Structure 1
Amino acid sequence: ASGFPIGAMVATSAVTNGLKLGDLGSTFGGGPVACAAALATLDVIDGEELMANVRRVSAQIAGRAAKTLGIESVRGCGFLLGLQMPRPATEVQEALFAHRMLTGTAADPATLRLLPPLSFSSEEAGLLMGALEQVLA
């Protein structure tokens, strides 16, 4: 919750019917400060329409990436995207860092991982993709 640790679990009644008191526990579950932080975080996500932003901007990134030479495919959902490269992703990552862009890599050495914050804007996505197009040119 915005950097404050909290634990939570969601399950169907088919799963939880067999549980009894003491079966589940969490170091960070249920504390009043953690719960207040989590509720405040959810209020911001809702109030600033961050999930709508994720849907809009991730579609922008995926659409532009699909048309970018040097990107073989785009995988993922929302802001967790993997861009498949024909060369080692670490090379692309290092070149993007020179453009002040932070990206990640994945278990697949040819996958560049994108995981921006929920507030990542359309303008910022444009800057990222512009830098990526320069690096791959």
Structure 2
Amino acid sequence: MSVQSEDTNTQLTFRRYKDGDTKWKRYQDVIFQASYTHKCPTYIQSTPPCQGSCPAGEDIRGYLAIVRQTEKPPMGKDGKPIMPWQEYAWRRLTKANPFPSVMGRVCPAPCESGCNRNEVEDHVGINSVEHFLGE
């Protein structure tokens, strides 16, 4: 449902500036007019630095997405998850690493030195997460 220009509120609020064009345009025209700036983000498909520096080739972003609950386990016919998130993350982890608990203890963690979070604060404790999922 689109909003007609007669129906819109033209009263000045904190969202509208006093000077400038106050006439309403169609939103599509505004979007396409603004596209000339080329400031839209461009996403590049590449290997994450943590995964690229892991000699075991684990899907680090995959099981971290499950741990932080952005990826959910598959649902069954009854609408409930067929397995708990811990088991789902463990299955994703053991595709490349059959001994995640041992690897979480003995690995020198080159993935943590390649972590993007090093530029902001400190690396993500990937070894600790791996150790937790292995237990």
TM value normalised by structure 1: 0.29
Asked which structure has the greater CA Rg, the reply is 2
TM value normalised by structure 2: 0.29
Q: Which has the higher strand share?
A: 1
